[in-house]
């Protein structure tokens, strides 16, 4: 990896240079490149901006205020005292590597937006813009992942335990049919059913934060603190209008730049004090709210209506083609509007009265659930067989994704899709479509609206169902590995810093 | 005035000192005697003030007191070996090797550059080891002079 570092100390004659030497040496020993700017008594030998732009991460080993901090904005940063860099340079470097792998852009590195020192050079031409976009994205994703893991595993646990609590595969359906509020009002600590409801509700609440956290921390990475409020509000609005994580990506970027722009307004001195607390959050939240609720909300609703009507009109046609289409929709936005149309279409079908055991509605449900399991399972598989293509935090998330995928919790794949949308979505759509089509061809049926492998006893021709899931998973994993490998190859040629970081972790 | 950072008379071998203040005073006096520092007490006070910000003990049982001071005429280095150790609050115990760096308050860049070069050398165990292994004051001075040349 490539790092840039700044060292400084109170007198500027000893530790500044010792830290610089220690970091350069330890970097060389580990095969990394560390370029140090010593801000000492000789003055500052400023690092060329192109070197900073090309760096993967930043190390501040400075006891004094870093001069020209905004030059390093938007990169993963560790901020340690100068003494630590002298005493334990290896640990400092390890922390910096970890920071790059997690991709988190800390507030320390984010732009000094409140300083009023004029616009920092935020958007640079060429590759560095691309790498910043990815780092903004990764910031949001890395904060979101723990919510996915916590919420998803709680929900999966609830499904598992509810088999016991209700005595059979129906449990996973019963647990969602219960009214949580009334259970909690009469909570019985000895009732396993009640505990299942608590687990499920807690998991669902955690999931409620997915899109707001994603959106909020993308905005935070772009605009520092002023971005947080509009980012979170925008994410919640995206959830409200059913725009899913793709909507959250839109609000994250929009909120970040809106907040950044407002925070750079030249305002009278009297107003400056209330800018960060009142003006910026107020105006930016309003702007994002209008964008999501008014501008984007209606087209999304119209799109969902249109798709729903269209799906209904297809019901008479080829059932395999319908399976492929539904599968593709399930894999497209993982809980977003398109996915929801497909899922709602299937669940509404279940409610039809007097269905035969092999009714098309049951097959549609089976196809939809199988397809919805593919993306998280495939990401889990891909992170297992080709670790080098994923960041450390993605690999960790991959482990949870096995359980989430098996439980038909498509959200398990959202962190991957948000971090690298088009590659993950393309591969997810291809594999999920294959699974949807195969389930229809095998004629599997399902009478439950969710539950994953935990409702296997409720699936007719379950072998075919499982085979379809496995095939789709293999296809999606293979495609995503192929696309990511191609990215890394071309990126090395183009000296794209971001992709190179991913390679080094291989 | 010599442009050398260190001469043999700035090296004190086998010192025994009660605390770091005693070592600083001793080396400051050597610098004053050599005509590199105008006022040993004033310089020592500046060094103590720097120590008070953060102690300068380093990995490898090394003490690194230093200061920029108006009392300093020429950038200089004084060295003491302290077999029984003296506490500089370093990460691995009492310092047995002490480098005192004297930097003028205002100075030409090339003077300060030699100190920067010295500081970079100080993180090299090969360099500090060579100083420690040096048999006498002459050898210490020549090891340092060679290293920053």
Task: Answer yes or no: is A82 within a domain.
Answer: yes
Q: How far is B37 from chain A (nearest CA, A)?
A: 17
Calculate the alpha carbon distances from A202 to A184, A237, A255, A304 in Å.
12, 21, 28, 28
Element (H, E) at A223: helix A210-223
Question: Min CA distance, A53 vs chain B (Å)?
Answer: 26
Low-confidence ranges of chain B (pLDDT < 50): 1
- Judged by a CB distance cut-off of 8 A, whether residue A444 touches chain B is no
A143, A106, A259, A413: CA torsion to nearest 10 = -20
So what's the pLDDT on residue A326?
Answer: 94
| ipTM confidence score | 0.88
User: Does residue A302 lie in a domain region?
Assistant: no
What is the spatial distance between Cα A328 and Cα A436, in angstroms, rounded to a whole number? 8
Per DSSP, what are the bridge partners of residue A226?
Answer: none
pLDDT per residue as tens digits for the range A391-450:
878 888 899 999 999 999 998 999 999 988 899 999 999 999 999 999 999 999 998 888
Please report the pLDDT score of residue A500 as a whole number. 38
Do the Cβ atoms of B116 and A40 come within 8 Å?
yes
Contact yes or no for A18 and B112 at CB 8 A: no
CATH number at residue A85: 3.40.50.2300
**Can you tell me the distance from the alpha carbon of A176 to that of A187, in angstroms, rounded to the nearest whole number?**
16
pLDDT of A36 > 80? The answer is yes
- Phi/psi of residue A98, each to 5°? -60, -40
Query: B115 contacts in A (CB within 8 Å)?
Result: 13-14, 17, 41
Chain A residues in contact with B120 by the CB 8 A cut-off are 17-18, 20-21
Taking an 8 Å cut-off on Cβ atoms, the answer to whether A14 and B59 are in contact is no
Which residues of chain A lie closer than 8 angstroms to B122, CB-CB? 14, 18
Query: Sheet holding A33-40: strands in order across?
Result: A43-44, A33-40, A2-8, A57-62, A77-80
A7 at interface of B, judged by CB pairs closer than 8 A: no
How high is the pLDDT of residue A497? Answer: 41
Of residues A13 and A384, the one with the higher pLDDT is A384
The structure tokens 């992170």 sit at A383
Query: Does residue A80 fall inside a structural domain?
Result: yes
Of A308, A375, A346, A344, the C-alpha closest to A444 is A346
pLDDT on residue A317: 73
Tell me how crowded residue A198 is: count the other CB atoms within 10 A of its CB: 15
pLDDT digit string (tens) for A245-294? 889 999 999 999 999 999 888 888 777 778 878 889 999 999 999 999 99
CA atoms of B65 and B48, how far apart (whole Å): 8
| Number of domains making up chain A | 1
Q: Is A41 on the interface with B (CB under 8 A)?
A: yes
Q: Do B59 and A87 touch (CB under 8 A)?
A: yes
Name all domains of chain B by residue range, CATH numbers in brackets. Answer: 8-148 (3.40.930.10)
- Count other C-beta atoms under 10 Å from residue A461's C-beta: 18
Contacts of A61 in chain B (CB under 8 A): none
| Cα distance between residue A404 and residue A157, in whole Å | 10
Q: Verify whether the Cβ–Cβ distance B66 to A14 is below 8 Å.
A: yes
Query: Which residues of chain B lie closer than 8 angstroms to A25, CB-CB?
Result: 123-124
Measure in Å the smallest separation between the Cα of B56 and chain A Cα atoms.
Answer: 9
| CA nearest neighbour of A478 among A466, A467, A486 | A486
pLDDT tens digits for range A444-453 = 999 888 889 9
Contact A10 B109 (CB under 8 A): no
pLDDT band at A389 (very low <50, low <70, confident <90, very high): confident
At A66 the pLDDT is 82
Instruction: Quote the CA–CA distance of A65 and A63 in Å, as a whole number.
Output: 7
Chain A residues in contact with B109 (beta carbon < 8 A): 42-43
For residue A468, pLDDT over 90 is answered with yes
Structural domain range at position A37: 2-102
* CA A345 to centroid of chain Cα atoms: 26
* pLDDT tier, A464 (very low <50, low <70, confident <90, very high otherwise): very high
A80-129, pLDDT tens digit by residue?
888 888 888 888 998 888 888 877 665 444 433 333 333 232 333 333 67
Interface test with B, best of A23, A25, A34, A41 (most B CBs within 10 A): A41
The mean pLDDT of chain B is: 87
Which residues touch B126 (CB under 8 Å, ≥6 apart)? none
The mean pLDDT of chain A is 85
Inspect the interface and report whether the beta carbons of B109 and A87 lie closer than 8 Å.
no
Chain A interface, mutation test: which of B60, B120, B124, B126, most A Cβ atoms within 10 Å?
A: B120
Q: How many CB atoms lie within 10 A of CB B70?
A: 13
Chain A positions in Cβ-Cβ contact with residue B50 (cut-off 8 Å): 10-11
Identity of the residue in A11, A20, A38 whose CB atom sits nearest the CB atom of B66:
A11
Assess whether pLDDT exceeds 70 at residue A496. no
Q: Could you identify the residue written with the tokens 């990475």?
A: A221
> For B90, which residue in chain A has the nearest alpha carbon?
A87
Residue A336 lies in a domain: no
A314: helix, coil or strand? helix
Give mean pLDDT, residues A375-382. Answer: 96
Q: pLDDT by residue (tens digit) across A149-203?
A: 899 899 989 988 988 888 887 888 888 888 888 888 989 999 999 999 999 999 9
In angstroms, the CA A435 to CA A470 distance is 8
Query: Which residue in the set A13, A22, A86 is minimally distant from B66, CB to CB?
Result: A13
**Coil vs helix vs strand at B97:** strand
Residue A20 counted as domain residue: yes
Q: Are A18 and B120 inside 8 Å of each other by CB?
A: yes
Contact (CB<8Å) B109/A20: no
Token pair 């300068």 in the structure block, residue = B56
Side-chain half-sphere exposure of A207, counting CA atoms within 13 A = 22
In this complex, is the C-beta atom of A90 within 8 Å of any C-beta atom belonging to chain B? no
Asked whether residue A88 is assigned to any structural domain, the reply reads: yes
Flag whether pLDDT at A484 surpasses 50.
yes
Kindly determine whether residue A18 and residue B68, on different chains, have CB atoms separated by under 8 Å. Answer: no
Catalytic center residues of A: 9
Ordered alpha helix ranges (H), A56-88: 82-87
Residue A226 confidence (pLDDT) = 86
Nearest chain B residue to A15 by CA: give it: B119
- The CA distance from A479 to A481, in Å, is 5
Catalytic residue among B30, B36, B66, B121: B66
Beta bridge partners of B99: B79
Q: Using an 8 Å CB-CB cutoff, list chain B residues near A90.
A: none
Is residue A96 a part of any domain in this protein? yes
Report if residue A90 sits inside a domain: yes
Q: Do B101 and A22 touch (CB under 8 A)?
A: no
Nearest CA in chain A to B103: A13
Q: Average the pLDDT over A70-76 and give the result.
A: 82
């Amino acid at each position: 990896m490539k790092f840039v570092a700044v060292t400084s100390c109170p007198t500027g004659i000893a530790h500044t240079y010792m830290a610089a030497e220690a970091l350069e040496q330890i970097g060389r020993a580990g095969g990394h490149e560390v370029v140090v700017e010593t801000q000492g008594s000789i003055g500052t030998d400023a690092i060329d901006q192109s070197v900073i732009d090309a760096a993967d991460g930043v190390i501040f080993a400075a006891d004094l205020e870093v001069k020209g901090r905004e030059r390093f904005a938007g990169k993963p940063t560790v901020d340690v005292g100068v003494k630590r860099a002298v005493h334990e340079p290896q640990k400092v470097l390890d922390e910096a590597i970890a920071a790059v792998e997690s991709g988190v852009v800390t507030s320390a590195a984010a732009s000094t937006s409140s300083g009023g020192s004029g616009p920092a050079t935020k958007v640079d031409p060429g590759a560095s813009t691309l790498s910043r976009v990815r780092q903004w994205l990764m910031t949001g994703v890395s904060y979101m992942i723990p919510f996915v893991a916590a919420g998803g595993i709680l929900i999966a646990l609830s499904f598992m335990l509810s088999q016991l609590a209700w005595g059979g595969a129906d449990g996973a359906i019963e647990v969602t049919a219960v009214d949580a509020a009334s259970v909690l009002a009469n909570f019985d600590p000895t009732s396993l059913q009640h505990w299942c409801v608590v687990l499920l509700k807690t998991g669902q609440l955690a999931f409620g934060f997915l899109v707001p956290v994603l959106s909020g921390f993308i905005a935070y990475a772009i605009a520092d603190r002023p971005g947080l409020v509009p980012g979170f509000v925008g994410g919640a609005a995206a959830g409200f209008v059913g725009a899913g994580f793709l909507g959250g990506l839109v609000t994250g970027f929009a909120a970040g730049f809106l907040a950044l722009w407002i925070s750079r307004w030249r305002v009278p001195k009297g107003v400056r004090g209330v800018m960060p607390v009142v003006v910026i959050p107020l105006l930016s939240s309003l702007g994002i709210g209008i964008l999501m609720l008014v501008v984007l909300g209606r087209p999304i609703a119209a799109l969902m209506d249109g798709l729903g009507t269209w799906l209904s009109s297809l019901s008479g046609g080829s059932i395999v083609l319908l399976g492929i289409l539904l599968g593709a929709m399930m894999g497209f936005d993982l809980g977003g509007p398109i996915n929801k149309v497909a899922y709602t279409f299937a669940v509404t079908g279940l409610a039809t009265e007097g269905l035969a055991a092999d009714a098309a509605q049951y097959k549609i449900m089976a196809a939809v659930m199988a397809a919805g399991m593919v993306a998280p399972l495939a990401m889990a598989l891909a992170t297992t067989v080709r670790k080098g293509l994923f960041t450390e935090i993605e690999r960790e998330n991959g482990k949870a994704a096995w359980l989430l995928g098996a439980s038909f919790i498509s959200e398990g794949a959202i962190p991957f899709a948000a971090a690298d949308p088009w590659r993950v979505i393309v591969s997810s759509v291809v594999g999920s479509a294959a699974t949807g089509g195969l389930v229809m061809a095998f004629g599997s049926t399902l009478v439950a609206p969710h539950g994953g492998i935990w409702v296997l006893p409720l699936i007719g021709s379950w072998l075919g169902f499982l085979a379809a899931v496995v095939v789709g998973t293999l296809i999606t994993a293979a495609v995503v590995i192929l696309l990511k490998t191609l990215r890394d190859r071309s990126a090395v040629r183009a000296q794209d810093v971001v992709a190179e970081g991913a390679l080094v972790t291989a | 005035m010599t442009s050398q950072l260190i001469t043999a008379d700035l090296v004190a071998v086998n010192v025994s000192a009660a605390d770091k203040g005693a070592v600083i005073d001793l080396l400051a006096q050597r610098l004053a005697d050599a005509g590199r520092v105008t006022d040993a007490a004033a310089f020592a006070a500046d060094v103590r003030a720097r120590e008070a910000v953060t102690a300068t003990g380093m990995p490898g049982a090394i003490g690194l007191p230093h200061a920029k001071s108006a009392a300093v005429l020429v950038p200089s280095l004084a060295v003491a070996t302290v077999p029984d150790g003296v506490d500089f609050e370093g990460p691995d115990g009492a310092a047995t090797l002490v480098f005192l760096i004297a930097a003028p308050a205002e100075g030409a860049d090339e003077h300060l550059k030699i100190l920067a070069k010295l500081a970079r050398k100080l993180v090299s165990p090969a360099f500090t080891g060579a100083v420690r292994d040096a048999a006498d004051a002459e050898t210490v001075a020549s090891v340092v002079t060679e290293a920053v040349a």
